[in-house]
Amino acid sequence: MLWLTRPPYLRWSLVGLLVVVSLWVEIRPTSSVRHPYVTHDVARGESVEGALEWRDVAGGVLEPVLGTGFADRDLTAGHPLLPGDTTHAPILVPPGWWLLDVAVPAETTAGMSVQLVILPASGERVLPPISGLVTSVRPGEYQSDGLLGSVAFPPDRAATAAVAIAEDRVSVLIEARRDRTTSDL
């Protein structure tokens, strides 16, 4: 007699518990944080403070930033401000200079002067070093790549620098830090 057996109360309660837990996971309040978004286009070197709007985003989605400083690259409206988008001081690149990405030493920071030494192939004459200005530094694509810097070069030497960088025949010298002495080494 099938109709005289007890109903499966335990199964029903487990299914009900599963439904309640899944509903709670779906509609529970998530933690949100305020994050700056760019409201209008900002050119490299301009202050970002007047071009930001703070919006609520889910916590942990974007790295927190202060929302101060100067644009390290051209920023477009509507995008969130990320840690690599700003610098503390404006980097003034002379007009007409060209930016090239090149591997730089570990202690390189934005604003430093560099010398790009072109390593000659056998039988070629040695070229004088090319002076440049580091505008930004970021990690390479892979962890083993080290740092990659955007370096501004004068227009009359930029093509030579670009060819040497593409052929991987360069060595980058950075200026000595003024806050260290030889006794610190």
DSSP assignment string, 38-81: E-S-B-TTSBSGGGEEEEEEETTSS------SEESS-B-TTPBP
CA distance 26 to 115: 56
- Residues in the chain with pLDDT < 70? 1-3, 143, 177-185
**CA distance linking residue 82 with residue 35, whole number of Å:** 9
pLDDT attached to residue 21: 93
Distance CA 17, CA 174 (A): 64
Tens digits of residue pLDDT in 97-140: 998 889 888 888 878 889 999 888 777 788 888 999 888 887 77
- pLDDT value at position 177? 64
Question: Which residues have a Cβ under 8 Å from the Cβ of 141 and sit 6 or more positions away?
Answer: 148
Asked if 140 contacts 127 with a C-beta cutoff of 8 angstroms, the reply is: no
pLDDT attached to residue 155: 92
Radius of gyration for the alpha carbons in the chain, expressed in angstroms and rounded: 28
pTM higher than 0.85 for the full model? no
